[in-house]
Amino acid sequence: MTGFAFIAAGAVGVWLISTPGRDAVSGTRRMPRAATTQLRAPAQTLRTALAGVAAAAAGWTGAWALFGGGVAPILVAVLGGAAPLCAATQRQRLRARDTWRAWPRLLAEIRVLVAHRGQSIPAALFAAGIHAPAGMRPGFSDAARTWSLSTDFEASLRVLKASLADPTADAVCETLLAAHQIGGVRIDARLRALAEAAQAEAAARSDARAKQAGARFARSFVALVPAFMAVIGLSIGRGRQAYESADGQLLVAFSVLAVTGCWLWAGRIMAVPMRQRVFLQ
pLDDT in tens, 208-240: 778 888 888 888 787 788 878 877 877 777 777
The mean pLDDT of 90-107, rounded to a whole number, is 77
Which is higher by pLDDT, 28 or 17?
Answer: 17
Do 140 and 191 lie in a common domain? yes
Please tell me whether residues 140 and 111 are part of one structural domain: yes
CA atoms within 13 A on the CB side of 88: 16
**DSSP symbols for 80-129:** HHTHHHHHHHHHHHHHHHHHHHHHHHHHHHHHHHHHTT---HHHHHHHHH
Q: Phi-psi bin for 69: left (phi > 0), alpha (psi -120 to 50), beta?
A: left
Residues 162, 204 within the same domain? yes
Give burial (CB, 10 Å; 0-12/13-18/19+) of 207.
exposed
Domain membership of residue 156 (yes or no) is yes
| Domain final position from 209, 242, 261 | 209
For residues 146, 133, 91 and 23, what is the CA-based torsion angle, rounded to 10 degrees? 80
Which of 15-19, 72-76, 168-172, 180-184 is the least confident region? Answer: 15-19
CB 168 within 8 A of CB 198: yes
The Cα 271–Cα 222 span in angstroms is 18
Summarised one tens digit per residue, pLDDT across range 47-63 is 777 877 888 888 888 78
Cα separation, 274 vs 165, in Å, equals 12
Report the C-alpha gap between 44 and 29 in whole angstroms.
Answer: 15
Same domain for 202 and 220, yes or no, is no
pLDDT for 238:
75
Read off the pLDDT of residues 131-183 as tens digits, 9 standing for 90 and up.
Answer: 888 888 888 999 999 999 988 999 999 999 888 888 888 888 888 888 888 76
Domain count, the chain: 2
Judge if 200 and 223 occupy the same domain.
Answer: no
* Domain region containing 31: 2-81+215-270
Higher-confidence position of 250 and 271: 250
In sequence order, what are the residues at sequence separation of 6 or more whose Cβ sits closer than 8 angstroms to the Cβ of residue 89? none
